[in-house]
Structure 1
Amino acid sequence: MLDRLRQLNIQEKQEIPEDTSLTINGVVTRSSGRRTVWINGVSQNENDPPGSLSVTPNRKDPGQVILQSSEAPAANARVGDTVNRNTGEASDLLGDGRIGVHRGTAK
């Protein structure tokens, strides 16, 4: 059903605005094997012609992408990470924080 809806809803290619930081919002793999990555809320299809930013999903790790730009070093980032375009450095949502799970005893 998702593939059919995608075929019927042809959208013009949206460009990612020139921002100093890029947030990887999500990655979806369709049944055809093609992938779409959302960066700063804008979808980028895997086979779109490259613009100022090239986004390549990692086939071995579906939640990771490689961002390449002519102006900055390549960066590996995971879904939820924010990448600084100038340095190529990726930081996760938690920063220096952590998530702890405290499990109660079963009764």
Structure 2
Amino acid sequence: MTAADFIPLALLALVFFLLIIRPMRERQKQFTALRQMQDALQPGVRVMISSGIHGTVRSLDDDTIGLEIAPGVVVTVARAAVAEVAQPNEPTEPTEPTE
């Protein structure tokens, strides 16, 4: 067998890596980051759950959180449903009116 016989096998291995293994690693990194964010939740933090509902975390249990979605309205949702933590808006300087 010559080196030319191994080129198709090497190309097949490269395609397998690029189409299967690499995307799997990226999804694993995203999942790990999401899990760390969910584990770091604390009461008082504004979050958005996967269904698009925004609210403030009021209580935490092992697998659930109490989410206040309106004043006095607290719903219990799965901790895994938290999709993102809201970033506080930074105050902006008022701009001078232009004429």
Asked if TM exceeds 0.5, the reply is no
TM-score (normalizing by structure 2): 0.26
